[in-house]
Structure 1
């Protein structure tokens, strides 16, 4: 006597079907490969650009070497034996300028250039007044780093969530329109079908996230950015954890929203609000990555926590307990979303024709 498969077995059968169909898709494999290559190229370019020597080549003599000693980070000095030798290096184009002894107007040195002198060199040689910072713990030089790190987390979340969310929605509507779903439901429970779709696409999405993280680690290692790599360790782990549950939440809602329509062209009418939720963290970190209030709120809102909290952890803005509290909020929201999504999916998946209204889907 044959027995019906358990809920877990049915879920895994559907998940295997989702994973297998994607891995057999050349479009999916090619797009994933291109994404990895673009990520690797971006990390390598940023690493080599950071390592490139942007210092100003300058010729100095023994008498003027001490003048630019404090400017080692901005000036690449070549010491020669005489002022005339320094001038020769300028004429030959070996250096951009020369600093030789002797001057006028209270200066004991002269800056020599060919047809011009680098303004950045003159700025570096200028005497600056003392500066007092009222907020010494502000962003300062970390502003650009904060922007790029925030942008990286936002882009990865947006691409993965939007790509696989739309994939789930299209799969649900396709099976519903072709009535394949009726055959599937005759073999497995309705909720197992939904769970399998969510699990399968979550596995694929997490695979991409882990792959992107591995590519980033390789790129940072090759370019010698060990300090940045060490700082990304904990944020990447938190991002993976938050993304896992955040994606399950979104995937459940995408599947439920798609079950309410019967045609591919109607998907947008029910999934657009979810698409806005996916896009919101990306735009928020672009415009408000340096705003502590907005970033703190983002790190506790379930739909934006996968982006907001890892960014705050990376820059040391979050206390040790904050990611845990945020994760608990996300888990509670995830359970609620799965319950609502399952109810909508179960009540809508076999209804053909006009779009099912949300009230009807929840009360059927």
Structure 2
């Protein structure tokens, strides 16, 4: 009894052998490894560039003519951080003192000064910020704000009052009633990133499943495998193995992204981003099982490698639509998509990040996704078993389902 019992156990656990083989083959695939490393490098480079741009300080040298006390006072306040620059740490102003207007023009021409500020004659008229070319917009904004404040302060002093008295009660504070600290632009970028991770993971790993299936079918190797391994076990192994690889890939990329975000201004909302990413991992883990099953069927419907572009194109179009629609969706559309698989894989985690969900909404959406995945796997299993042994041309879903009903192979 020992021999038959061991054979039965081996058949029942065959999916584990298949899954292990899929994981090892994929993990040792040079193309996969190189692609993953390149993606990690791109994410790291993008985060590094963003961090550099956020911390970068713009420096401006601004000329002022001797005797132009009003302009000198305005520039000194900017240089000392008492003017508009006090609210903008990324800008640094240095005052360049010159003897006359000719010297100021010469400084602009030889680029020892970026701009030249001259005050209004006699206290009336316009101040002038000159440049050899068009003055920098950021510098013009800061100088304009500083000059405006200085002129108002001088005129307030002239009538026996102060700027504090004139501006008392004029402060405006902002308040966000939903209590979520995440900026809408951050939510949009996060939606794009999650949609990208979903699309790359689903298409990349799904295509590998379809390629593996057609490779075994075209070489007739599957006919040998089928004598020892039930086809449903073969399918289960391919789904599990590919799901592990896809999930591992997204965990690595998500981890790199979260660690990188901790070095940027996004570090303050990292807890919210982490919660959203965890929901994405859970949704992706469940949803990819259905995607993997459908890609396996797409591979079984083909008889040659060249047929894959036809059998996988409906799936590719669906995944592309999810990628495009989910990261750009907003309002009612986003709420609806967060309950419709597979769009919910991206839309619901994005809504969690935006603080737009009640506690039960992700759970309900996940339950719908689980039910959809179970249905997709059961349907795919029937089509897979019916189509895998058919050769001679592309197999339709109808033919695959009919063949499965008429045979007990792999049952």
TM over 0.5: yes
In structure 1, distance between residues paired with 2:326 and 2:378: 30
TM-score normalised according to structure 1 size: 0.84
Could you say which residue in structure 2 is the equivalent of 1:279? 320
Could you say which residue in structure 2 is the equivalent of 1:196? 237
Q: 2:300 aligns with which of 259, 275, 280?
A: 259
Does the Cα contact within 8 Å between 2:187 and 2:353 map onto a contact in 1?
no
Moved more, 66-75 or 176-185: 66-75
Could you say which residue in structure 2 is the equivalent of 1:29? 33
Q: 2:365 aligns with which of 326, 329, 332?
A: 326
Could you say which residue in structure 2 is the equivalent of 1:117? 135
Does the Cα contact within 8 Å between 1:64 and 1:109 map onto a contact in 2?
no
Does the Cα contact within 8 Å between 2:209 and 2:292 map onto a contact in 1?
yes
Larger gyration radius, structure 1 or structure 2? 2
- The structural deviation recorded for 1:252 is 0.7
Moved more, 96-105 or 152-161: 96-105
- The structural deviation recorded for 1:210 is 1.0
In structure 1, distance between residues paired with 2:280 and 2:304: 35
Does the Cα contact within 8 Å between 1:64 and 1:100 map onto a contact in 2?
no
Question: Secondary structure at the residue paired with 2:392?
Answer: coil
Does the Cα contact within 8 Å between 1:83 and 1:101 map onto a contact in 2?
no
In structure 2, distance between residues paired with 1:325 and 1:152: 24
Does the Cα contact within 8 Å between 1:61 and 1:79 map onto a contact in 2?
no
Q: 2:391 aligns with which of 326, 333, 352?
A: 352
Q: 1:15 aligns with which of 19, 29, 34?
A: 19
C-alpha RMSD over aligned residues: 3.5
Question: Secondary structure at the residue paired with 2:227?
Answer: helix
- The structural deviation recorded for 1:112 is 5.2
Q: Map 1:177-256; keep pairs closer than 5 Å.
A: 177-223=218-264, 225-256=266-297
In structure 1, distance between residues paired with 2:17 and 2:307: 28
Q: Is structure 2 residue 94 aligned with structure 1 residue 76?
A: no
Does the Cα contact within 8 Å between 1:173 and 1:262 map onto a contact in 2?
yes
Q: 2:52 aligns with which of 42, 48, 52?
A: 48
Question: Secondary structure at the residue paired with 2:91?
Answer: strand
Distance 1:319 1:105, change over 3 A: farther
Unaligned runs of 5+ in 2: 64-70, 149-169, 406-411
Moved more, 224-233 or 269-278: 224-233
- The structural deviation recorded for 1:30 is 1.9
TM-score normalised according to structure 2 size: 0.75
